[in-house]
Structure 1
Amino acid sequence: MNVKALQRGFWLSFWSVVIYMIVRGALIPARLRHPRITSLSGIEPMYAMLSWGYGPGSRPVNVIFDVQFAGGAQGSVTVDGEALEAEVPLIGKAQPGESYTITATLVYRQLGRAFTRQMQVSAQIE
């Protein structure tokens, strides 16, 4: 095999990977990863500090987080799709060690159409 054929194969492979990554970033929605409550603050009103990440792909336009604690405290916040943290104002009082559920509704806009995805996570405050 000659050098020109090897170079051509290398560049074809390189540009194929680049195009694949661009298409993936534009067309595949990013998944929400590891939504969790990192801390509780305040006495009245109480706030829950929420953090999360995203997988590869295009980020959502916005995300709606609904938080509900086992003791009855609850709250909701809507954030921009670029945010990675938020303070959720709570109605009621949450305790350290209490279990909670986070319901996240992600709103995407791709190729001119809007669609939503929803996920739910349950955990316990440490």
Structure 2
Amino acid sequence: MKKILASLRKIARHILPDQLIVNVKIGFSDPMYTGFLLVLLTQGYLWYDRFDIAVELVFGQEMLEGRFFIGGRIWLPYLLSVIIGLLVTKPIRNIMLTNLKIKFKGGSPYVG
């Protein structure tokens, strides 16, 4: 599990966007839901702090409008090397070999 989690962490770090620009104006008809969204946004601020995200909340009016831009790169050879590296590790290789092993019992199955 450690090898799988490490590989997933490498892939996630690689595919995260370099640029994220979001300008959003959002509101719900019930101000409680808008306040709840405000709480969620402030709790997750450390995750999206490095991106240019502007959220304008409108209380008491149902609204959703905005723009976003996502920019980054995904390098296929790196992803393939991480996946192949995971498959070549000893624990994964042992699991694959035990699941793919063909059992021969000897003799013909149609002998009567």
TM-score (norm 1): 0.27
Structure holding more helix per residue = 2
Larger Rg: 2
Q: Which has a greater percent of strand?
A: 1
Q: Which has the higher contact order (CA 8 A, sep 6+)?
A: 2
